[in-house]
Chain A
Amino acid sequence: MSEVTGGVEVEEEIGGTVKKFMFVNRKAPYGTIYALEGLEVVLISAAFDQDVSLVFLDDGVYQLKKGQHTKAVDMKNFSPTYRALEGYDIDKLYVEKESLEERGLTADDLVVDVEVLTAEEIAKLMAEQDVVLSF
């Protein structure tokens, strides 16, 4: 176990190239482990100084809903952690317009500032990536 103290060494180890990584989040937060696992992978990926973006679509938009209280179901409420992403230099958060609208939500209902994009815009961003990881 060693702590990553800076990105420079790590970046050299993998050849010094910055790749575009997109994390696609499509699952609601507590019914399955996908959302939490995805978030942890995102936090770890921040150590590698890559070009990281997060997309929330379908039920994935529910991950960002304000006002989650999980005490009664005895699960960890990880929605505040999305607010920590900025400190990890992850600031490309995209939410799909159609998915929000279908669920009667707007950007104001979400715990973090996001960019709302149409499915087509997201499709284009997706096509520009080196790696797409789905959760």
Chain B
Amino acid sequence: MLHTVNKSPFQTRNLESCLRHALPGSAVLLIEDGVYAALQDTPFADMVRKAMEQVRFYVLGPDLEARGMEPSKVIDGIEVVDYGGFVDLTVEYGTVQSWL
């Protein structure tokens, strides 16, 4: 199962809801304003690092880039993917749940 989050963690609790329902072995892909959750030095980084013990994290590169966020500022262990990578993830993980 692939979970996508497209809202800023500062704006909504969608990331929290997502993590509450992400089973071990599933994946989370951060897109659009959701990419802010991928950054180091936010109040949410610890929550993300903790979740990463059981769930793989990905962030969409083009959305980071559009927002002026450098890949070097992304939490260690989160993989930056492009649109092709996004498609690959949906294929690999099957069902997608979008936390809109």
Residues of A within 8 A of B (CB): 24, 26, 34, 57-58, 98, 119, 122-124, 126-127, 129-132, 134-135
Contact = CB atoms under 8 A, between A and B. Distances in A.
Contact of A58 (B13, B22, B96, B97): B13
Given A26-B100, A34-B100, 20 more contacts: A24-B97, A26-B17, A26-B99, A58-B13, A119-B21, A123-B22, A124-B23, A126-B1, A126-B21, A126-B97, A127-B1, A127-B26, A127-B95, A129-B95, A131-B95, A134-B97, A134-B98, A134-B99, A134-B100, A135-B100
Interface residues on B, range: 10 to 19
A57 B13 CA distance: 12
B17 A57 contact: yes
Contacts of B1: 126-127
A84 to B, nearest CB: 25
Interface in B57-100: 95-100
Contacts of A134: 97-100
Contacts of B17: 26, 57-58
A130 B94 CA distance: 8
B97 A132 contact: yes
Nearest to B25: A127
Nearest to B16: A58
A132 B21 contact: no
Nearest to B17: A58
A57 B20 CA distance: 11
A107 B20 CA distance: 21
Contacts of B22: 123
Nearest to B100: A134
Contact of B23 (A123, A130, A131): A123
Contacts of A34: 100
B20 A98 contact: yes
Interface in B23-45: 23, 26
Listed residue (B13, B17, B22, B100) with the most chain A CB atoms within 10 angstroms of its CB: B17
